[in-house]
């Protein structure tokens, strides 16, 4: 339990000055906590999976490194975080295509984080949409998230049901606004 709280504090420090893109401008750390909370509802959740969920965006979005994560939280956590980290050196469209193509080859732990991450993002899109996104961009994100998660199905009924609920919420929100 101590390591999970330590990871939460580490994530909060790393994401300290980041905000979500939504109209509410929430602190970014709220997202990683939400992802970890969602993952915690899986029957397969353990401390390392929760820690990886809390740290899933550290390498991608901060100055944190895989080496630092491994030193603080162990090689298993670092490996899962690396699995869910996008390569920001390639163009955005290529990164999105890679997520769709590669998710089916990820470990079960990485897939669980992807399920929770996309569910969190869809809920945020419905409740606090990004200011600069028009209806078509939001709809494209929803459709893309659904395609990504298609490769993570038949793994965790609880996380899949939560993803499906967030997907339905996002679609309802877009219909209401649209």
Return the bridge partners of 22, or none. 130
Residue 61 annotated in active site = yes
Single out the catalytic residue among 47, 60, 68, 146: 60
**pLDDT score at 73:** 98
**pLDDT score at 178:** 66
pTM to 2 decimal places: 0.96
The span from the CA of 33 to the CA of 29, in Å, is 6
The span from the CA of 108 to the CA of 79, in Å, is 12
Domain 2-177 fold: Hypothetical protein af1432 (1.10.3210)
The stretches in the chain having pLDDT less than 70 are 178
Residue 60 annotated in active site = yes
Tokens of 143: 């459709």
**pLDDT score at 103:** 97
Single out the catalytic residue among 6, 26, 47, 61: 61
The span from the CA of 15 to the CA of 23, in Å, is 18
Using a 10 angstrom Cβ sphere, with 0-12 exposed, 13-18 middle and 19 or more buried, the burial of residue 53 is buried
**pLDDT score at 1:** 85
**pLDDT score at 131:** 87
**pLDDT score at 64:** 97
């Amino acid at each position: 339990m101590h390591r999970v709280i330590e990871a939460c504090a580490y994530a909060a420090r790393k994401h300290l000055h980041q905000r979500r893109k939504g109209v509410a401008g929430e602190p970014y750390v709220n997202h990683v906590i939400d992802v970890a909370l969602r993952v915690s509802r899986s029957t397969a959740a353990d401390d390392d999976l929760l820690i990886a969920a809390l740290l899933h965006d550290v390498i991608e979005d901060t100055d944190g490194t895989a080496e630092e994560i491994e030193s603080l939280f162990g090689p298993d956590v670092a490996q899962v975080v690396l699995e869910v980290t996008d390569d920001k050196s390639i163009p955005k469209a290529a990164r999105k295509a890679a997520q769709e193509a590669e998710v089916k080859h990820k470990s079960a732990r990485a897939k669980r984080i992807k399920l929770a991450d996309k569910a969190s993002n869809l809920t945020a899109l419905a409740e606090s949409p990004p200011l600069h996104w028009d209806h078509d961009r939001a709809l494209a994100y929803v459709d893309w998230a659904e395609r990504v998660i298609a490769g993570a199905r038949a793994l965790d009924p609880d996380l899949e049901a939560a993803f499906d609920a967030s997907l339905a919420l996002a679609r309802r929100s877009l219909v209401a606004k649209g």
